[in-house]
Amino acid sequence: NAGVTQTPKFRILKIGQSMTLQCTQDMNHNYMYWYRQDPGMGLKLIYYSVGAGITDKGEVPNGYNVSRSTTEDFPLRLELAAPSQTSVYFCASGPRGHLNSPLHFGNGTRLTVT
Amino acid sequence: RKEVEQDPGPFNVPEGATVAFNCTYSNSASQSFFWYRQDCRKEPKLLMSVYSSGNEDGRFTAQLNRASQYISLLIRDSKLSDSATYLCVVLASGSARQLTFGSGTQLTVLP
């Protein structure tokens, strides 16, 4: 199993550009999440999904969109990049039902908006 | 008030030392608690869950005090490889397993 795979690993965007951060998991997990982590800070939840076709906003959803057309994929879209979106983005997945199961994280995408 | 607050650190300790991290959470309905470890520029990984009765995993001991809404992590006989950021993580009630992360406490174990 590859686990949770995120692409790209690094990206530099100009203000106003758009991009999609890809996330895929091969563990058949129902739950998937997108977090961002600013330097010296904890992770903040952007969006999450409890299954294909279902998405919900987290703590910091503004400026982002997501979709969940399949169980495996959960892409994060930035439409008009802003410097405030410079951060490290982590995708994660977890199984339904077992509260103490760990979340599986991808390696992260380091995004700089200039 | 932040939902999950941790000691700001950083903690710099010699090898072999015992170090304790504290964490408080604001949502009394929180139902599950964890410590995650994050190495520099890497993804977080689960270190251990925290159970009401307290639990131990080798050199690591986690404790939970629901009345005080307080979680702790004790590391005994610290190793150089324990150097990392330790994140206190709380699961809110609800069905979507939305984890709330503390800002983390940085630990450096010195030779």
**Interface contact A106, partner B, CB < 8 A:** yes
Are residues B102 and A42, on separate chains, in Cβ contact within 8 Å?
Answer: yes
Instruction: Give the gap in angstroms from C-alpha B57 to the nearest C-alpha of chain A.
Output: 15
Contacting residues of A for B101, CB less than 8 Å apart = 35, 42-44
Contact by Cβ (8 Å): A45, A34 = yes
How confident is residue A103, by pLDDT bands cut at 50, 70 and 90?
confident
Are residues A43 and B44, on separate chains, in Cβ contact within 8 Å?
Answer: yes
Of B73, B74, B84, nearest in space to B109 by CA: B84
pLDDT at B19: 96
pLDDT at A40: 79
pLDDT at B85: 95
Contacting residues of A for B99, CB less than 8 Å apart = 33, 43, 45, 103
**Interface contact A34, partner B, CB < 8 A:** no
pLDDT at B96: 67
d(CA A25, CA A47): 16
Of B47, B42, B56, nearest in space to B89 by CA: B47
Q: Which residue of B has its CA nearest to A105?
A: B43
pLDDT tens-digit series, residues B48-100: 999 888 899 999 999 999 999 999 999 999 999 999 999 999 987 665 677 88
For residue B59, give every residue at least 6 positions away whose Cβ sits within 8 Å of its Cβ, in sequence order, or none. Answer: B75, B76, B77, B78, B79
pLDDT tens-digit series, residues A44-99: 999 999 999 999 999 899 999 999 999 999 999 999 999 999 999 999 998 876 66
pLDDT at A98: 61
Contacting residues of A for B44, CB less than 8 Å apart = 43, 90, 105
Q: At B19, which amino acid appears?
A: V
pLDDT at A27: 93
